[in-house]
Chains A and B, each alone.
Chain A
Amino acid sequence: DAKTTQPTSMDCAEGRAANLPCNHSTISGNEYVYWYRQIHSQGPQYIIHGLKNNETNEMASLIITEDRKSSTLILPHATLRDTAVYYCIAYNTNAGKSTFGDGTTLTVKP
């Protein structure tokens, strides 16, 4: 898997959009960008993934730059329950396994 780089921590006000960046400058053409989050002492939870196009689901939006070297996860209206560690993974289908980086600790504040 390509290496991903994320800020260590971020704060966000409740009700505002949370924009979490991820750099994956060495991503290859067949690697997907996956986002998971982990709330304290729980297993990770899938959020969203994409290859080239921007994606949106009920949880979040994923914006991938045209050169695919970076992406941004957007939580449109952050709540206190969105406080978690967010992991961005460049997933190689051929490798068949996920390598987690250090992630971003997002703290949503009232």
Chain B
Amino acid sequence: GAVVSQHPSWVICKSGTSVKIECRSLDFQATTMFWYRQFPKQSLMLMATSNEGSKATYEQGVEKDKFLINHASLTLSTLTVTSAHPEDSSFYICSAPMAESTDTQYFGPGTRLTVL
């Protein structure tokens, strides 16, 4: 069935570097994708809505210049954490609607980011 993949599954980087996380919809197209962040023992927090061919919509309090989102095709959205710091260490998860006509989401497996 349709799934959403993320790459990489986990990444460790040095403070000050940038990290790119990919979110792909497999076997289906997604004009909209969502990016979430999850800290240990906490719930998912919506960061932004990624829109194919246009700018992402960021939730209040999320720095758009720090978390760059690019939705260049109908099957790929990328989240780049720029100048990462230890406090950016988190579990990043993307999701996409199962179909254009539904609000039900497929979620990716998540990417564990650790910034040293």
Contacts and interface: CB of A to CB of B under 8 A. Distances in A.
A27 B114 CA distance: 38
Interface string A44-82: 111001000000000000000000000000000000000
B91 interface: yes
A32 B105 contact: no
Q: Main SS of chain A's interface residues?
A: loop
A73 to B, nearest CB: 15
Interface string B14-35: 0000000000000000001010
A49 B36 CA distance: 21
Label chain B's interface by main secondary structure: strand
Contacts of B45: 100
A46 B103 contact: no
Interface string B59-100: 000000000000000000000000000000001010100100
Interface in A66-110: 87, 91, 93, 96-103
Contact of A87 (B43, B49, B91, B93): B43
A41 B103 contact: no
Contacts of B32: 96
Contacts of A97: 34, 46, 49
B107 A44 contact: yes
Given A36-B105, A38-B44, A41-B91, 18 more contacts: A34-B103, A41-B110, A41-B112, A42-B110, A43-B95, A44-B44, A44-B93, A44-B95, A44-B105, A44-B107, A46-B98, A46-B104, A87-B43, A97-B46, A98-B95, A99-B46, A100-B44, A102-B43
Interface of A: 32, 34, 36, 38, 41-46, 49, 87, 91, 93, 96-103
